[in-house]
A and B are shown apart, each in its own frame.
Chain A
Amino acid sequence: MNAVEFSDVTLAVGGRTVLVGASFAVREREFVGVLGPNGSGKTTILRAVLGLLMPWRGSIRVLGRPPSRGDPTIGYLPQVRSNRAGMQLSGWDFVAAVHRGHRLGLPFLDAVGRREIARALDRVGAADLARRPLAETSGGERQRLLLAQALVGRPRLLLLDEPLISLDPHHQAAVVALARSVQEELGITVLFSAHEINPLLGAIDRVLYLGQRQAALGTVEEVITGPVLSRLYGMAIDVVHLHGRIFVMSEGQDMERDAHRHYEAHHAGPSHA
């Protein structure tokens, strides 16, 4: 059985077509990096898998079933949003809010629930971290806690949306290694979206590259090539390998890095408000 299967899928958000007639299949227990320039539909695809967005055409299957909102077999780590007053609460409370959070009632956990939260926190080594208020954690620590949140409820599929944004290379590597070790230990499937391929090299099994309303799924060697990326970027792309790193270049510009930088500048303002 495939973990995520897209058959001839067309997706649109707010009148803008993001994906046209895409077909690909992510196998179970695979760790797949989801890449592509800004607006190429990384978040949109994850939302479609979550059942928050219906395809215009084609069919999507998640672990053998059509996507359904609230699917307990999926763990989700959304993109970091602007600061909230709620960040004054401890990391523990943040993670615990997810446990059966959709049920009516008081927000207090029983012994089983508390064990479940402790287990998720232990899995990512965040038990001590969770005592501090979220506002006083670093970006890397926060991603660790959010990963714990995504593991609550023992999902079989993890969707991690840009967990590397605004982290330095050292913390990026730590988050990727942690996600990979959790994936191997639990034997689950992971879709990990990112702006740049390099932090993911060596950790991912395959890469799903998006662009120009198309998608290409394959190994890094198959997908990160001049011809494939030229098609996905809609311009001539050279792929340069240097000291074990990969650079996606167009007319001497590093496409992934510049895209990332643009994104950072765009998002730096509100996040510090």
Chain B
Amino acid sequence: MPDHPMLEYGFMRHAFAAAGIVAVLGGLVGYFLVLRGQTFAGHALGHVGFTGATGAVLIGASPFSGLVVLSVLAGVGMGFLGERIAERDVAIGIVLALALGFGLLFLNFYTAFASEAVALLFGNVLAVDARTAFVLLALGLASLAGLAMISRPLLFASLQPEVAEAKGVSLRLYSVLFLGIVGLATAGCAEIVGVLLVFALMVGPAATAQRLTHHLGWGILLAPGLALAEAWLGITMAFYTNWPSSFWITSLSAVAYLVAVVLSGRRSAAPARSR
């Protein structure tokens, strides 16, 4: 048991601040990813970000800057490459494999980075310093503002692409803008739970929200709410158990989804009988 209440520790305050903004952003971005059937993209961008981080170290830059730059570039590139769903998976898969290959190569060149590489892969939110927390806060707020601005046409283009196109919405433009924001959110999530576990913070809560409500308004509130609750609760549990925070966050994310599946399964079974 720690000697002091957890918020008396600076690293805990940084962890809560960083995880808070990233969770809200990740939950919202994830909600649109799930709506668009692009969750694989979020997963892939994390891997690409890993390459960016290892590559940045190689050229003497900070891993986080490499993570951000390459995730965003990859997201934008992905938006340009694949417009139709059928093309998307292939395009993403090719980029993903290429990126991981380069990530491995960079690690090979710079073996001293190996311990930090583990933190990149699995996250270490308790190691976030004040400066990183502020950077995450700024990036998070900018991404949220961007997402808020494009959310209406993005929703239209996601739900009814053919009609949106006819009404003058550029599908490609919004795909590129959105995946750019996904890149930023992925980089943020990677700082909290690591590139391999981005899914837990970004897609898990969003998919859970979509299971629990069919209404857009509630879903948009529930997804970031769940992500925030899972992130903060996970950090709290990590503080008291001394187990890795990423373990707790992924566990909470999985449990929440499981509960939602059971609940929604029951709900949809009931009206089916009465109909």
Give the interface residue-count category, chain B: 20 to 34
Closest to B168 in A: A70
Q: How far is the CA of A88 from the CA of B73 in the complex (A)?
A: 31
Of A78, A102, A149, which one neighbours B168 at CB under 8 angstroms?
A102
* Stretch from A90-98, A121-129, A259-267 contacting the other chain: A90-98
Q: Min CB distance, B155 to chain A, in Å?
A: 4
The interface bits of chain B over 197-227 (1 if a CB of A lies within 8 angstroms of the residue's CB, else 0) are 0000000000000100011110100000000
Interchain CB contact under 8 A, B162 and A100: no
Give the interface residue-count category, chain A: 35 or more
Main secondary structure of the interface of B (DSSP, over half): helix
Interchain CB contact under 8 A, A101 and B169: yes
Interchain CB contact under 8 A, B37 and A107: no
A242 at the interface (CB under 8 A from B): no
Main secondary structure of the interface of A (DSSP, over half): loop
- Tell me which residues across on chain B come within 8 A of A79, comparing CB atoms: 162
Q: How far is the CA of A86 from the CA of B210 in the complex (A)?
A: 9
- Tell me which residues across on chain B come within 8 A of A84, comparing CB atoms: 37, 159
B111 at the interface (CB under 8 A from A): no
Interchain CB contact under 8 A, A85 and B36: yes
Interchain CB contact under 8 A, B151 and A97: no
Interchain CB contact under 8 A, B215 and A76: no
Q: Given A88-B210, A93-B215, A93-B216, check contact A81 B166 (CB 8 Å).
A: no
A133 at the interface (CB under 8 A from B): yes
Q: Given A101-B167, A103-B152, check contact A89 B214 (CB 8 Å).
A: yes
Interchain CB contact under 8 A, A101 and B34: no
Q: How far is the CA of A31 from the CA of B150 in the complex (A)?
A: 37
A104 at the interface (CB under 8 A from B): yes
11 A-B residue pairs with Cβ-Cβ distance under 8 Å, sorted by A, are: A88-B210, A89-B35, A89-B214, A97-B159, A98-B163, A101-B164, A101-B169, A102-B156, A106-B148, A108-B217, A149-B160
A-B interface, 8 closest residue pairs, ranked by CB to CB distance from nearest:
A70-B168, A101-B156, A78-B162, A133-B214, A93-B216, A85-B37, A107-B152, A107-B155
